[in-house]
Structure 1
Amino acid sequence: MDIKEIQSLIKFVAKSGASEVKLETDDIKITIRTGAIGNAPETTYVQQLPVAQATIPQVMAPPPIEAASTPAETAATDAAEDDSKYITIKSPIIGTFYRKPAPDKPSFVEVGSDIAKGDVLCVIEAMKLFNDIESEVSGKIVKILVDDSSPVEFDQPLFLVDPS
């Protein structure tokens, strides 16, 4: 990755509104943070990774502090348990999410659409390239979790699919 690609990525992240983006390849690790405290400028870290590095250690988050649950929290927990039977399709890249192949075309899928493995679900634009996102499962779209023309981050949930 050359300096022009890194600069382009920084501009894209700044426009997307994401607060932090991490990108790791075999030979480079980039962390871009925007919207820092006060009027501090955006911070970019570029770290050259050793070629022989096989795995990246994972940092564990501290356990959440338990509090008395309110009815709203209980309802949210029940909804999360209901969603557990569904398969979540996540974004494989950062970029801008589009539900349609073009503004004047119909959406790839709607809630209730039956999908098969390999069907195109959406398009994600990253650095002026449009990437078709294909389904890895068959089933029915239960929920679309992202608005059209919205920025998405890597591993962000996009769709809930009922595999039955």
Structure 2
Amino acid sequence: MAEHEAEQQPTTVFPLDEVRELIALMKASDIAEVLIKRGDDEIQIRRTSATPAPTVVAVPGAPTPVAYPAPTAPAPLPAGAPEATSGAAPAEEATSTGITVTAPMVGTFYTAPSPKEPPYVQVGDEVRPGDVLGIIEAMKIMNEIECETHGRVARILVQNGQPVEYGQPLMVIEPF
């Protein structure tokens, strides 16, 4: 009977598909850490660097975490779109024709607070630091994208309701 018990695999409190779903949710938001307890078992997932890929951290009493391969590089940008560089907070990046405002997260970009209201900004509008340029909805949370420089909106590179990726250029601001 002892031989039969040794052959059985221990049941996991945190199935692999649930762990993968948690990691995907973290990638789609700005959540830095998650801790889940089920009885005496725990699982903690934490981002350890400025990159958006979370890592799984072993917690005493928890099942052994599963290692995942590093994420692949983001998809190439459409022809003619400004290049985005990676960084801890890629809110705005300088280009030769202005400052490119990039998406700080994955989600859906909206130009106005609601469909019946006018857009926050239009091409040609003057903007100042702190002005709202648009909203990115991620996991039913509306995240305002604020301007970080004084200037004029030169180009808007995404449409209302368009899905955006982390680091994707949203608009170009020509500084004053």
Q: What TM-score do the two structures reach when normalised by structure 1?
A: 0.56
**Structure 1 residue ranges without an equivalent (≥5):** 13-19, 30-44, 51-60, 62-72
Instruction: Kindly indicate whether the alpha-carbon contact (under 8 Å) linking 2:109 and 2:136 is maintained by their aligned counterparts in 1.
Output: yes
**Structure 2 residue ranges without an equivalent (≥5):** 1-13, 34-44, 48-52, 59-72, 74-78, 84-94
* Residue in 2 that maps onto 1:112: 124
Note if 1:123 corresponds to 2:135.
Answer: yes
Q: What TM-score do the two structures reach when normalised by structure 2?
A: 0.52
Shift of the 113–103 alpha-carbon distance from structure 1 to 2, 3 Å rule, reads same
1:56-135 equivalences in 2 (<5 Å)? 84-135=96-147
Secondary structure of the residue aligned to 2:143 is strand
Shift of the 7–157 alpha-carbon distance from structure 1 to 2, 3 Å rule, reads same
Shift, 1:84, TM fit: 1.2
Give the partner amino acid of 2:21.
Q
Shift of the 8–149 alpha-carbon distance from structure 1 to 2, 3 Å rule, reads farther
- Identical pairs, percent: 35
Give the partner amino acid of 2:163.
P
Instruction: Kindly indicate whether the alpha-carbon contact (under 8 Å) linking 2:113 and 2:135 is maintained by their aligned counterparts in 1.
Output: yes
Task: Output one character per residue of 1:125-145: Cα deviation in whole Å (capped at 9) or x when no partner.
Answer: 000000111101110000001
CA distance in 1, matches of 2:22, 2:109: 18
1:30-69 equivalences in 2 (<5 Å)? 47-48=55-56
Instruction: Kindly indicate whether the alpha-carbon contact (under 8 Å) linking 2:102 and 2:167 is maintained by their aligned counterparts in 1.
Output: yes
Shift of the 6–100 alpha-carbon distance from structure 1 to 2, 3 Å rule, reads farther
